[in-house]
A and B are shown apart, each in its own frame.
Chain A
Amino acid sequence: MSAEHGITINHVSRSFKGRGAVVQALSDVSLACPEGSFTALIGPSGCGKSTILRLALGLDAPDTGDVMISGMTPFKAARSGKTGVAFQDAALMPWRTVEDNIMLPLDVLGHKRADYLAEVAKLVDLVGLNGFEKALPGELSGGMRQRAAIARALITRPEILFLDEPFGALDQILRRQMNIELQRIWMESRATTLLVTHGIDEAIFLADRVVVMQSKPGRISRVIDVPFDRPRKPALFSDPRFHALEKEIAEALDGQ
């Protein structure tokens, strides 16, 4: 199995205590993302999809079960620079320029900035932010900030890429454009990718398979493979097969 170099989530449970009640955020969840695959996690609010991501990033620890990233614990994988992450709401540092924000992971990992200058230029070009290298996040539009965040996620040439509703704050039109761009970027990097999203169309357009989750307790209810060839074109959004898949996922979300 190539899961050795991908993401492996093994019988993970996690609960939170809040205001007297115990919330079972994840109950015995298992999921394997093989190397080079693109997996989308979709589900209603509170189904634990962001919790999975936080566990995989090492920002949180499971009550039982374990999470392995490229055969390592999440924290070790993060320390060795194997992972990249883009959050909902860009989460750029408002006091750093675009360039400096993109290089933040290097500062944290203790890599030399000088070794990556060509990489930064390439990424700025890839996400289409040429000419804005020295701009502060406050001077950019929402879509540009999100693209800067994607570039930041790619700076370490990650083997594993985590995307937490990266376009959640954007409008539908911009979102479509960003989906097309993300596919292009992903096809160049071929990183094992885990995308958390609320958008059914986004999940189908981008992923090899869509993992549908349910809440109370948070669990995986279905895994649906997406058969379309890449590169997928915008026309796919209006393909009848695309609509059929959308319907199938919507029904799975409704618990049918």
Chain B
Amino acid sequence: MASNRTAPERSDALSPIRKLLHSSTLRNWLLLLIIWEIIGQLRLVADGALPAPSAILARLWVDWSDYPPHILATLEGASAGFLIGNALAIAAGVLFAIFPITQRLARGVNVALFALPPIAVSPILVITFSGMTPRIILAAIACYFVTMSATVTGIQQTDRRIVDVVRAYGGRQWKTLVHAQMRSAIPSILAGLRIAAPNAVLGSILAEFGGGGRYGLGVYLIGSLGRGEPDRLWGIGLSATVIAGLAYLLFSLLATRLTGASKAVTVPASPPATKAEKNPLVEAALITVSFALPFLLWGLLLSIMGTPAMIAKTPLGVFDYLFMMPNSPASLGKLAMALSETLPMTMIGMAMGLFFAFALALCSVLYPAIIRGFMPVALVTQTMPLVALTPLLVLILGRGPSVILWITVSVTFFPAFVTMAQGLSMVSRAAIEVPKAYGAGPVKQLWLVSIPASLPYLFAATRLAVPRALLGVMIAEWLATGKGLGNLLNQSRGYLDYGMIWSVAVVSVLISVLFYQIVVAIEHRVLTKRGMAPAQ
């Protein structure tokens, strides 16, 4: 009885604070704005690199006539890419879900598309294609993986009992897909589209960084970077954020309207399907094909398009450039040098971002009230084309190496935090209450339940962080520090050194894929041992 009474008492003691914080999300934002205004007015950060919100708005008002063509151009690239990328993604997702073998064959392509740092391929796209095409392609790529995995997950997570009912009436693949799987995948697909929408905006902007075209928010941003007008830069950044946020909001509303009434009625209790026995020969063949497929597609695409070999390097062309030419050693040397500058920064930045995210996510378990004020801020960053805002950080932090770390930490921290905090919030209350019932304190509860239960989310966050970290470092190098892969890419663009542009792109994609695969391998080992499934 005594222990029964302490629980409500404690929450009573906390509730005034909690209420204050809960109703204060709005107030927090206001506070942030006021502090920002003061800092801006007093020119406290890097001699005015962070202008006051009022100054940014005033400048936005003055510049307003410049915006429409830029916004329209970005929207055009983003929405065309959004449509094409998602159509392909949903079709691919359905195919993968119905015929799992196709997913295994396409794994190489999928991982490459997920892990490729857009900034690395944007120069390639700009030299191989013209007009809006590079933007559309990059926006489509930015959508593809999210929506594809959402479709596969949605279809695979269809309530097995519902599938059984359809099959019990003699329905096969097609009927099951039409009556059960597609419909039950809709919430998941919409959730994917919600993330894909701001991604498409970001993809288009990153392609604009790579050059080509006079209009677009990315073009505008890069063009204004050299002019030393922070208030204009911030105005452009804010407009990009607002556009991406609106895209996110649109699909959130759509999702709630369409799926509000049809939540699952009961919890499915059927066991997961048993795995078929593996034939080592077939396995090896599958892995080989899956690895070779991206290279085959790359060569095939170029030969279909008929771009001159001087500009468009096939896999063989890149190999020639790096190993068979007279100045191959020099090129390899430059590449190795750049790598040795980029890799340590990527690792350190990613480790720091993940560490902060994990620490803060664990705090959110210990002090739910305090974190509640921060979560909305973190969620908003999900919709921000954060990477596209790096020029603003360059402005504030200057061009030293610290800017790289800041950018990398900030692009990895937020998505990792959101993933982990959401994962931790899904740990069942009953599981936490068992140690509590035996008198375990908060730290012990963390250690016994929350940390082990959140492992899948820690890995999911790490998978997410890998390509972002590399992207962040490369952008910082390109725009600010003049070192590493990002800088090499930018330089080669200037020298029209096509071989090097392709080599940097290929190397950065390979590195990103390699890191990703390492994380997946560790995840697989750790989680299998503990009988856990990876989180999406």
Contact = CB atoms under 8 A, between A and B. Distances in A.
A87 B171 contact: no
B169 A78 contact: yes
A104 interface: yes
A58 interface: yes
Nearest to B266: A89
A81 B264 CA distance: 27
A76 to B, nearest CB: 8
B274 interface: yes
Given A18-B274, A93-B180, A59 B261 contact: no
Nearest to B160: A91
A93 B170 contact: no
B261 A108 contact: no
Given A93-B180, A108-B179, A85 B264 contact: no
A104 B166 contact: yes
Contacts of B179: 93, 104, 107-108
A242 interface: no
Interface of B: 159, 161-162, 164-171, 175, 179-180, 183-184, 261-266, 269, 274, 277
A193 interface: no
A109 B161 contact: no
Interface string A62-85: 000000000000010011110101
Contact of B166 (A79, A108, A145, A169): A108
A58 B170 contact: yes
A91 B159 contact: yes
Q: Which of B184, B261, B269 has the most CB of A within 10 A?
A: B261
Most buried by A among B171, B265, B269, B277: B265
A89 B180 contact: no
A94 B265 contact: yes
Contacts of A166: none
Nearest to A94: B262
- Range of interface residues on chain A? 20 to 34
A233 interface: no
B262 A95 contact: yes
A94 B264 contact: yes
Interface in A8-25: 16-18
A92 interface: yes
A16 B274 contact: yes
Interface of A: 16-18, 57-59, 75, 78-81, 83, 85, 87, 89-95, 104-105, 107-109, 136-138, 145, 152, 156, 162, 169
A107 B179 CA distance: 8
Name the residue in B159, B169, B263, B264 with the highest tally of chain A Cβ atoms < 10 Å from its Cβ.
B169
A93 B183 contact: yes
Contact of A145 (B161, B168, B265, B269): B265
A40 to B, nearest CB: 19
Given A89-B161, A89-B266, A108 B183 contact: no
Contacts of B167: 57-59
A137 B171 CA distance: 22
Contacts of A87: 161, 164-165
6 contacts: A90-B265, A94-B265, A104-B169, A136-B262, A138-B263, A156-B169
A93 B162 contact: yes
Given A57-B164, A59-B167, A91-B162, 19 more contacts: A17-B274, A59-B168, A90-B265, A91-B159, A91-B161, A91-B164, A91-B165, A92-B265, A93-B184, A94-B264, A94-B265, A104-B165, A104-B179, A107-B175, A108-B169, A108-B171, A109-B169, A137-B265, A156-B169
B160 to A, nearest CB: 9
B262 A138 contact: yes
Contact of B168 (A57, A95, A136, A169): A57
Q: Which of A75, A90, A95 has the most CB of B within 10 A?
A: A95
A59 B274 CA distance: 15
Contacts of A156: 169
Nearest to A95: B262
A162 B168 CA distance: 10
Contacts of A92: 162, 265
Given A17-B274, A81-B169, A107-B179, A59 B263 contact: no
